[in-house]
């Protein structure tokens, strides 16, 4: 099974790049399932229903969120009618929406997508470890789901790594989001879970975390908030993680980072590129 995850979509530049790239990538690599994190897609803060529908129409099978899930206030309403829009699982009881969803892939496989928030250096939430343990115990890999994908939206690398080892062998992949800078630690853990501390963002990297640099720099210098943050509008880099699974077990066989366009050094999953070469 071929899975692709695309990191935090930031603003108009990130949206444009993802909407242009995703249909091409789905066709080129015959992707079975695609997850996109869109918590920064609407001007850098939250997501609108129109953006969710655009991403789904472009080829996303599920859209995940994070700490900015409800920055657009109407998300409290439309999330209830968007079954493939997934907010963090460990938000307080009674929060609208769902923290997980079992979704059918293009190949007929059942994929459980789970979103969770970290607690280190972030707003206090319910324990993500206990919440995810409960979720993957109730819906087990290989029994109830053909693949289980976890988007762990967290600040601390240590917390993301700890979560990956905690879930190793029980889920297909644990992918870190939130910090908007791609790490170089993508790998398959001993139990067969694919992992990357942070996949990075889909946005303009000639920026400060996707935002025009002037205001963040000013705040660091003066500690004064002069203007609101505005997303940078230069060419975006599409960043993500490609995952090849073992159809018999649902665990990861190989993972590879993806970077296309913009200013970062490009890279593509060689295990899929080699397959293209062998067919030519």
Classify 171 in phi/psi space as left (phi over 0), alpha (psi -120 to 50) or beta. Answer: beta
Classify 122 in phi/psi space as left (phi over 0), alpha (psi -120 to 50) or beta. Answer: beta
Strands ordered across the beta sheet of 2-6? 85-86, 62-64, 33-37, 2-6, 238-245, 252-260
- Going by DSSP bridges, is the β-strand pair 85-86/62-64 parallel, antiparallel, or unpaired? parallel
Tell which residue, 202, 157, 193, 200, has the closest CA to residue 177.
200
**Catalytically annotated residues:** 68
- What CA–CA distance (Å, rounded) separates 183 from 247? 27
CB 210 within 8 A of CB 234: no
- What CA–CA distance (Å, rounded) separates 52 from 135? 24
């Amino acid at each position: 099974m071929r899975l692709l995850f695309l990191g935090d979509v930031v603003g108009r530049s990130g949206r444009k790049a993802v909407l242009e790239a995703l249909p091409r990538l789905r066709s080129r690599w015959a992707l079975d399932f695609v997850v996109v994190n869109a918590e920064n897609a609407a001007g850098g803060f939250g997501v609108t229903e129109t953006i969710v529908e655009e991403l789904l129409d472009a080829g996303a099978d599920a859209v995940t969120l994070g700490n900015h899930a409800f920055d657009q206030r109407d998300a409290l309403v439309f999330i209830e009618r968007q079954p493939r829009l997934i907010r963090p699982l460990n938000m307080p009881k009674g929060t609208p929406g769902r923290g997980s969803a079992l979704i059918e892939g293009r190949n007929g496989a059942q994929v459980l997508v789970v979103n969770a928030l970290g607690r280190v250096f972030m707003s206090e939430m319910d324990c993500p470890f206990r919440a995810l343990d409960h979720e993957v115990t109730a819906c087990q890999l290989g029994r109830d789901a053909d693949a289980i994908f976890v988007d762990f939206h967290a600040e601390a690398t240590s917390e993301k790594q700890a979560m990956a080892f905690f879930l190793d062998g029980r889920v297909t992949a644990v992918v870190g989001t939130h910090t908007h800078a791609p790490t170089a630690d993508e790998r398959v853990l001993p139990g067969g879970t694919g992992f990357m501390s942070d996949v990075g963002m889909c946005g303009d990297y000639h920026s400060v975390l996707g935002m025009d640099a002037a205001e963040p720099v000013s705040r660091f210098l003066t500690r004064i908030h002069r203007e609101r943050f505005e997303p940078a509008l230069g060419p975006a880099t599409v960043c993500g993680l490609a995952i090849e699974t073992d159809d018999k077990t649902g665990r990861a066989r190989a993972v590879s980072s993806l970077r296309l366009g913009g200013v970062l050094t490009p890279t593509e999953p060689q295990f899929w590129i080699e397959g293209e070469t062998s067919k030519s």
